[in-house]
């Protein structure tokens, strides 16, 4: 048997391998041909889905990551007609680091005989190979169909949101119930969309955490306030950046197919920072 003795790293070598900050650590994580899919659970009663997605995109742009928003919620537009033949035609470029795909009803078009829609994730990876992050905004039931068995064995980190009203709280709890009973997801993060003057935001988060734990055995890992009155250009709060980074560490990783990577490496293609493949 051949063995290789590893020499201990010097102090300078060890320091060189450690990320200097959170952003550098994420860039190292995205140095391979991997997209990371983050499930964002739609809440039709909260009325702040656009705000949540916008703030997440802003956070990932600060990390210099390209984000594709796939909006399959009931409030989204259906995909364009051309997307039926070529999914890439449904991607709308909003900026250098943000793309958007209206996708209402799209997951069910990919349902197989078992009711799984996970093949859509592969199709999205091929349709937007330049992306680093894919935010999948959909109902709890559709997210379970999309991620399904692929979520087993990883610390998947779904994000829920609500407002500070009873209707939003009710929908959020219903989503936790679906995620836990059908998907086996027993933890989540929460954003409460309300102004800093709201006296109900904290009680709403605490009540959802208590009910999720007492009746479903589900843990609320973290919750934060998201103020809709803040201008979109406001620098994301450090705690929000920390949550956004945590969502990436708990996201579903999906390796790009060879066809998509060949497209990136073709002459004239814009190469992202992860163009040099490494082994994970």
Residue 3 has what pLDDT? 34
Tokens of 229: 């009155």
Residue 6 has what pLDDT? 37
Tokens of 184: 């086996």
**DSSP structure class, residue 214:** I
Residue 72 has what pLDDT? 98
Strand-pair category, 133-138 with 67-71: parallel
Residue 276 has what pLDDT? 34
Strand-pair category, 92-93 with 98-102: antiparallel
Residue 197 has what pLDDT? 96
Nearest CA-CA partner of 227 in 188, 190, 201? 201
Residue 268 has what pLDDT? 44
- Which domains does the chain carry? 34-264 (3.40.50.300)
pTM given for the model:
0.82
Residue 31 has what pLDDT? 56
Residue 259 has what pLDDT? 43
The strand pairing partners of 69, in sequence order, are 100, 135
CA torsion 266→268→269→274, rounded to 10°? 80
Residue 32 has what pLDDT? 60
Cα 148 from Cα 55, distance rounded (Å): 27
Residue 226 has what pLDDT? 96
Report mean pLDDT in 10-residue bins for the chain, 280 residues: 39 45 62 84 96 96 96 95 92 96 96 93 92 97 92 88 98 97 95 97 98 98 95 88 95 72 46 35
The strand pairing partners of 68, in sequence order, are 99, 134
Residue 151 has what pLDDT? 83
Cα 91 from Cα 100, distance rounded (Å): 6
Cα 169 from Cα 185, distance rounded (Å): 19
Nearest CA-CA partner of 148 in 115, 190, 125? 115
Residue 231 has what pLDDT? 87
């Amino acid at each position: 048997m051949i063995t290789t003795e590893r020499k201990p790293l010097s102090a300078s070598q060890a320091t060189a391998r450690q990320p200097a900050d959170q952003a550098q650590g994420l860039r190292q994580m995205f140095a391979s041909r991997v997209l990371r899919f983050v499930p964002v659970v739609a809440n039709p009663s909260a009325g702040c889905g656009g705000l949540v997605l916008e703030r997440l995109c802003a956070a990932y742009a600060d990390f210099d990551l390209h984000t594709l928003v796939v909006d399959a919620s009931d409030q989204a537009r259906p995909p364009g007609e051309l997307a039926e033949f070529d999914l890439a035609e449904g991607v709308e470029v909003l900026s250098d680091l943000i793309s958007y795909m209206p996708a209402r009803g799209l997951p069910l078009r990919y349902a197989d005989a078992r009711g799984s829609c996970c093949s859509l994730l592969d199709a999205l990876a091929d349709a937007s190979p330049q992306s680093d992050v894919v935010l999948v905004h959909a109902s709890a039931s559709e997210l379970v169909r999309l991620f399904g068995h692929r979520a087993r064995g990883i610390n998947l980190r779904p994000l829920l949101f609500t407002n500070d009203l009873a209707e939003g709280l009710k929908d959020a709890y219903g989503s936790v119930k679906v995620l836990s009973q059908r998907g086996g997801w027993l933890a989540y993060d929460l954003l409460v969309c309300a102004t800093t003057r709201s006296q109900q935001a904290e009680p709403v988060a605490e009540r959802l955490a208590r009910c999720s734990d007492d009746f479903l055995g589900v843990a609320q890992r973290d919750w934060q306030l998201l103020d809709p009155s803040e201008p979109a250009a406001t620098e994301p709060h450090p705690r929000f950046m920390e949550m956004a980074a945590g969502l990436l560490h708990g996201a579903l990783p999906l390796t790009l197919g060879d066809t998509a990577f060949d497209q990136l490496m073709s002459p004239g293609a814009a190469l992202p920072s992860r163009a040099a493949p490494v082994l994970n």
